């Protein structure tokens, strides 16, 4: 279960229940921290390998031929960058989601909007007293908190729904969300009965 959580494979009620266990079980948190620590050491080791200079014999095999100048390559890269950014800015975002729906949705509930969706994972009270919800959409994983009468995004991490058979690296995009919840939650995740009272 820890590996599935760290790989970002848990969603909805399963993710909410596991997060609740993490808040209640110190031993489980220690195991998760050990996994994350190992991942970090492996990343550090890999970055050390990346920082090691390539031997001259190998570097000579991959040098650009004399006819290609760095200026030409830079110009081509700049043109691709400008076209990509221009296309992104011109195409309107048609997948806007009405976050006021969060006021009425229960944890575990999902609403589909054609190509996009909104799923509430869990609810909790933040240390500053605000009511917050963890949610996922097709493109993002967020924590939003009710500020006055509107929802304010506290943290948002990009994500994509991978194909069922695709590999997802350990940690993935979930770690920043988990860290935010651990650092800002007051008490534990709000249970279903209390949540119903809040949204009615």
pLDDT tens column, 85-108: 544 444 334 446 678 888 889 999
Quick: pLDDT tens for 8-53: 788 888 888 888 887 788 788 888 777 877 777 777 777 777 777 7
Extract the tokens encoding 181. Answer: 């919840």
What are the DSSP calls for 61-80, one per residue?
A: HSSPPTT--HHHHHHHHHHH
Cβ atoms within 10 A of the Cβ of 116, count?
Answer: 14
Residue 152, beta-bridge partner list: 145
Give the global pTM: 0.50
- Domain borders along the chain are 2-48+94-199
pLDDT, tens only, 41-91:
777 777 777 777 777 777 777 666 655 566 666 666 666 565 555 444 443
**How far apart, in Å, do the first and last CA atoms of the chain sit?**
33
| Residue 95: strand, helix, or coil | coil
């Amino acid at each position: 279960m820890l590996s599935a959580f760290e790989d970002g494979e848990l969603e909805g009620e399963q993710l909410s229940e596991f997060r609740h266990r993490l808040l209640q079980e110190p031993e489980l948190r220690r195991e998760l921290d050990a996994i994350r620590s190992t991942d970090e050491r492996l990343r550090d080791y890999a970055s050390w390998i990346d920082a090691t200079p390539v031997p001259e014999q190998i570097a000579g095999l991959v040098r650009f031929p004399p006819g290609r100048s760095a200026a030409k390559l830079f110009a081509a890269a700049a043109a691709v960058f400008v076209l990509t950014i221009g296309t992104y800015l011109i195409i309107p975002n048609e997948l806007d989601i009405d976050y006021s729906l969060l006021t009425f949705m229960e944890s575990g509930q999902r609403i589909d909007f054609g190509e996009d969706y909104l799923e509430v994972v869990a609810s909790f009270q933040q240390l500053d007293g605000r009511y917050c919800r963890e949610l996922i959409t097709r493109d993002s994983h967020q924590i939003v908190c009710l500020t006055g009468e509107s929802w304010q995004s506290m943290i948002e991490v990009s994500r994509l729904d991978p194909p069922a058979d695709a590999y997802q690296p350990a940690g993935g995009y979930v770690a920043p969300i988990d860290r935010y919840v651990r650092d800002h939650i007051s008490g534990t995740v709000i249970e279903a009965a209390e949540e119903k009272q809040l949204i009615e």
